[in-house]
Structure 1
Amino acid sequence: VLVDKLTPWFGSEPERGEVVVFHDPDGWLRDEPTPRPNAAQKFLSFVGLMPSAEEKDLIKRTIAVAGDTVECKKGGPVEVNGKALTEPYVFPGNSACDDMPFGPFKVPDGKIWVMGDHRQDSADSRYHTDDVNKGFVPVSQVVGRAVVVAWPVNRWSVLSVPDTFDQPGISAAAGAAPGALGLAGAVPFVLRRRRRLTRARTAG
């Protein structure tokens, strides 16, 4: 994936529905080996379009942010602030949370609740509620937002924010995904997003 990992320098924080890359918050990947990056990965990391391949990073979808209440009962949908989510991004054949129901939990300040799209093959926030962060991911550990699946070529796709997060009662996650695919589409998107945030902070 290509990642907008520069925007957080300008005051942006993860929003509901965004797919984010983050550093291992508390041993989630304790038993996994640290990967060795190739030249292309090192270059993309250097220019800010990929997280460091030399670190143990994870990629999950932001489901709830600070102040939200999130829960999921067996057989039911994930709910944020009492609103049921329609989740078209969940891997076909997977349930919303039948393997690990949870909540209700209120997301603390400076934290987010994340879940994998492949629910039955994702050790996400649900599986780490006994760690130091209670399963929540500190915003300070977020590297950036994943914007495009660029490799392999036959899986190119835009990682957009689903409409379910625009429901009344759930604050909409801002930020459209880039209109073009691959590196050529991701670079202008990252730069435009940074300029908007810079102008907003200057005006404020």
Structure 2
Amino acid sequence: MDTEAPHTQRGHSSPGEGEERSRFVLSGAGPAEDPGARTDPGKAGWLTWRRAGLLGMACTVFLLLFSNFVLQPFLIPSRSMEPTLAVGDRVLVNKLAYRFGATPERGDVVVFDGKGSFVRETPDGNPIGDALHGAASALGLAEPSDTDFVKRVVGVGGDDVVCDGNGRIKVNGVPLDEPYLFPGDSGSRVPFRVVVPLGTLWVMGDHRSQSRDSRDHLGEPGGGMVPVEKVIGRADWIGWPVSRWGDAGSVGGGRG
């Protein structure tokens, strides 16, 4: 007689079904989303703009510091340095060129502060306006200050610079080769002879007939000489427009 009781149907889930349910719960989407935890789109946009604004401010501060101490764009406002530099050119002024004991040499194109040599010292104007204009000028977005000039060094301290009646410039008795002059211009239409004091420079524009330079200040205090400490830097490259990219024309003729 078969004494084994027949199997009865289970009234609850089998182990296999329980495991499937557990896996489903564990791998599901998790707890329901809390409506209060959703990000406000307006707030997210404001945060994005805030980050962009802070990044823009940081970039502007970096550019200002870089232009004040290393390399500054300088907008050419006049024809006095043609054909080397044209109106609207933005030259990059190397402010490290004379920082570590080096001094300007003949042939260098330099940017300098003309207060006390080319223009009279004047009382300070509106500090805020001057600061804003200075920042725009430092970024190459505005014309330079009326007291900033760009010219070529023709004579350095100790040089005897002469222009005879033929319009030829001689430095220490040696005729100066000036391939950079504007076509048709001579070295100078006005004869002169100066001995450049130590620590100063005699500067002239490449477009001699359109340049107000050291020659125009001979009878004034300082005699048209630019103190070396007033030199802002050397104009090394033309950065804009793209069609004029390249060397800004410094020829570095040395002291000879």
Residue 93 of structure 1 deviates from its aligned partner by 1.6
Match of residue 138, structure 2, among 18, 23, 42: 42
Indicate the structure whose relative CO is greater, using CA pairs within 8 Å and at least 6 residues apart.
Answer: 1
Match of residue 84, structure 1, among 172, 175, 183: 175
> For the structure 1 residues 13 and 27, does the alpha-carbon distance in structure 2 shift closer, same or farther, using more than 3 Å as the test?
closer
Unaligned stretches of 5+ in structure 1? 46-51, 172-204
Match of residue 202, structure 2, among 109, 113, 116: 113
Equivalent in the alignment of 1:153: 242
Contact preservation (8 Å) 2:160, 2:195: yes
Structure with bigger gyration radius: 2
> For the structure 1 residues 27 and 136, does the alpha-carbon distance in structure 2 shift closer, same or farther, using more than 3 Å as the test?
closer
Give me the TM-score of the superposition, normalised by structure 2. Answer: 0.54
Contact preservation (8 Å) 1:26, 1:131: no
Q: Distance in 2 between matches of 1:27 and 1:62?
A: 15
> For the structure 1 residues 149 and 74, does the alpha-carbon distance in structure 2 shift closer, same or farther, using more than 3 Å as the test?
farther
Match of residue 109, structure 2, among 19, 29, 36: 19
Where 1:28 maps in the other structure, the secondary structure is: coil
Where 1:8 maps in the other structure, the secondary structure is: coil
> For the structure 1 residues 27 and 15, does the alpha-carbon distance in structure 2 shift closer, same or farther, using more than 3 Å as the test?
closer
Identity %: 44
Q: Distance in 2 between matches of 1:141 and 1:85?
A: 25
Q: Distance in 2 between matches of 1:97 and 1:90?
A: 10
> For the structure 1 residues 158 and 28, does the alpha-carbon distance in structure 2 shift closer, same or farther, using more than 3 Å as the test?
same
Deviations 1:35-57 (A, max 9, x none): 97497643469xxxxxx945620
Where 1:150 maps in the other structure, the secondary structure is: strand
> For the structure 1 residues 159 and 153, does the alpha-carbon distance in structure 2 shift closer, same or farther, using more than 3 Å as the test?
same
Deviations 1:74-124 (A, max 9, x none): 3231100000011110111211101x2211x11101101001001000011
Where 2:110 maps in the other structure, the secondary structure is: strand
Contact preservation (8 Å) 1:74, 1:97: no
The one-letter amino acid paired with 1:149 is I
Q: Distance in 1 between matches of 2:103 and 2:167?
A: 29
The one-letter amino acid paired with 1:62 is V
Deviations 1:47-74 (A, max 9, x none): xxxxx94562000000110111001113
Choose 108-117 or 36-45, whichever is displaced more.
Answer: 36-45
The one-letter amino acid paired with 2:171 is V
How many residue pairs match? The answer is 156
In the alignment, structure 1 residue 5 sits paired with structure 2 residue 101: no
Give me the TM-score of the superposition, normalised by structure 1. Answer: 0.67
